[in-house]
Amino acid sequence: MRILIVGNGGREHALLWKLRQDAPSATIYATRPNGGMAGLCEPVELAPTDVEALSGFAASRGVDLTIVGPEAPLAMGLADRFRFKGLPVFGPSKAAARIESSKAFAKDLMREVGVPTAAYRVFTDGAAAEAYIRERGAPIVVKASGLAAGKGAVVCETVDAAVEAAHGMLNDFAFGEAGREVVVEEFMEGEELSVFGVCTGEDVVLLLPSQDHKRIGEGDTGPNTGGMGAYAPVSISSPRLLTEIRERIFRPVLRGLAERDSLFQGLLYAGVMLTEEGPSVVEFNCRFGDPETQVVLPLLETSLVDLLFASAEGAGLHRLHPRFREGAAVTTVVASGGYPGPVERGRAIDLSGVPDDDDVLVFHAGTARQGDGLVTAGGRVLACTGLGATFAEAAARSREAAAAVRFDGATFRRDIGWRELERSSST
């Protein structure tokens, strides 16, 4: 079996780790692998966004399955090109990927198919956005409609902050092309779940829900990032809630996409706010989330390969029933100083103090090999996942591992899963 992973971040390292467990004899290729992936796969020196070259590589090597990790190649039509060439691929078409690449499209689709989400308006003009914000008041959320690496949503506590965010996106191009169109939406109160659905058309298999932490600071303060940590399972979830999410959110959206000739084959990720009125969608992504993947996959006991193949082939998904191990997983992201702003790269990384323990996994994101060592190569550098019989055990292992990572400027949050810890302490 030959598998190609497109992408080279923490999510892709976690996918590679799980695939190695499921198919130890497989030949696994990965595009420009990071420092942690390098010894586990065959490197492919092609950019994840080089659609034509990647499809040619997969065809020439007889790749049995390609798994697309990041959103950008999907938004560029990589999956379309693979399917045109008859190459099995896990990932939605360019048209279906609009569920993430255009928040405006996603919001309009949800409104049309009756999926609960926050009230909103879409703007391309700063003055019009400002007038609406002043009419609605705060708190309020301003989002770049396009792809902004998870940093394009700004939760604004005041009207002035929201006006500044909207003008920054529309007039000052703070997020480049991603912010030429903005979504201004009501602020929703509640806790958020990250729910992954492996999909093929209107068929969907939901994986274990998780909860992530987007804010840079402890106590969920400061600017949004791509994610500073996550944990699973989440005790406020339940089988009944997941059934509601599947029937009220996933299936109507998948049906709506299919009716628009945008059949979805791949991973649909719903950020779901649990409000007093019930589950409501914050946003959709068209791929595995990062760092949620680093806690969901280590708990998955059954084969990920089988799920992804069934989705890529468009058949048999309903016969698969993923099973998860007992206990919990917590991952803590170790980031470079200055993140989510500009960061310095090339800092030497020392992992010698990280516990050598089967219940501690270190997934690389922004790392690179330099000589015989590792150096930083991005904002989010590593994700340290702890496993345990209880949430408290998993969280302690994750924090201990993160604290043992050494490089100049290393920073991490010590409170990942703080709500879950409060819940477990009160029972």
- pLDDT, one tens digit per residue, over 56-112 is 999 999 999 999 999 999 999 999 999 999 999 999 999 999 999 999 999 999 999
- Tell whether 306 and 332 lie within a shared domain: no
pLDDT of residue 120 exceeding 90: yes
- pTM score, two decimals? 0.95
Q: Are residues 357 and 386 in the same domain?
A: yes
In a domain, 106, yes or no: no
Say if residue 182's pLDDT is above 80. yes
Q: Are residues 48 and 138 in the same domain?
A: no
How large a percentage of the chain has pLDDT more than 90? 93
Average pLDDT over residues 341-369: 96
Burial of 86 (0-12, 13-18, 19+ CB in 10 A): exposed
Per-residue pLDDT band for 4 (boundaries 50, 70, 90) equals very high
d(CA 211, CA 272) in angstroms, rounded, equals: 10
At residue 427, does pLDDT exceed 70? Answer: no
Residue 99 lies in a domain: no
Range 215-241 average pLDDT: 94
Q: Is residue 96 part of a domain?
A: no
- Amino acid symbol at 239: P
More confident residue, 377 or 38: 377
Q: What is the pLDDT of residue 424?
A: 79
Q: Has residue 206 been placed in a domain?
A: yes
* pLDDT value, residue 259: 96
Tokens of 365: 């994101």
Q: Which of the listed residues 180, 197, 223 is the one where a domain comes to its end? A: 180
Q: Is residue 118 part of a domain?
A: no
Q: What is the dihedral of CA 224, 363, 282, 99, to 10 degrees?
A: 110
pLDDT at 318: 84
Q: What is the pLDDT of residue 316?
A: 83
Give the residue-averaged pLDDT of 306-333: 94
pLDDT in tens, 285-301: 999 999 999 999 999 99
Tell me, yes or no, whether 200 and 266 share the same domain. yes
Pairing verdict, β 27-31 and 2-6: parallel
Is the domain of 210 the same as that of 141?
Answer: no
Domain total in the chain: 4
pLDDT at 150: 73
Mean pLDDT of the chain: 95
User: What is the pLDDT, as a whole number, of residue 152?
Assistant: 87
**Are residues 268 and 249 in contact, defined by beta-carbon separation less than 8 angstroms?**
no
Tens-place pLDDT, residues 399-408: 999 999 999 9
**Per-residue pLDDT tens for 8-26?**
999 999 999 999 999 999 9
Give the pLDDT mean for 399-420.
97
186 near 140, Cβ under 8 Å?
yes
CATH number at residue 373: 3.90.600.10
User: Can you give the CATH number for the domain in which 238 is found?
Assistant: 3.30.470.20
Same domain, residue pair 204 and 173: no
Enclosing H/E stretch for 19: helix 10-22
Both 198 and 300 in one domain: the answer is: yes
What was the pLDDT predicted at 223? 87
Give the HSE-up count for residue 5: Cα atoms under 13 Å, Cβ half-sphere.
Answer: 31
Residue 150 lies in a domain: yes
- Examine the domain organization and report whether 352 and 382 are in the same domain: yes
- Domain that includes residue 364, residue range: 328-425
pLDDT of residue 426: 67
CATH code of the domain covering residue 39 = 3.40.50.20
Beta-carbon contacts of 146 under 8 Å, excluding residues fewer than 6 positions away, are 101, 102, 103, 152, 175, 177, 178, 179, 180, 181
Query: Which pLDDT value is given to residue 39?
Result: 87
Query: Given a cut of 80, is residue 349 above it in pLDDT?
Result: yes
Within a domain: residue 405? yes
**Residue 100 falls inside a structural domain:** no
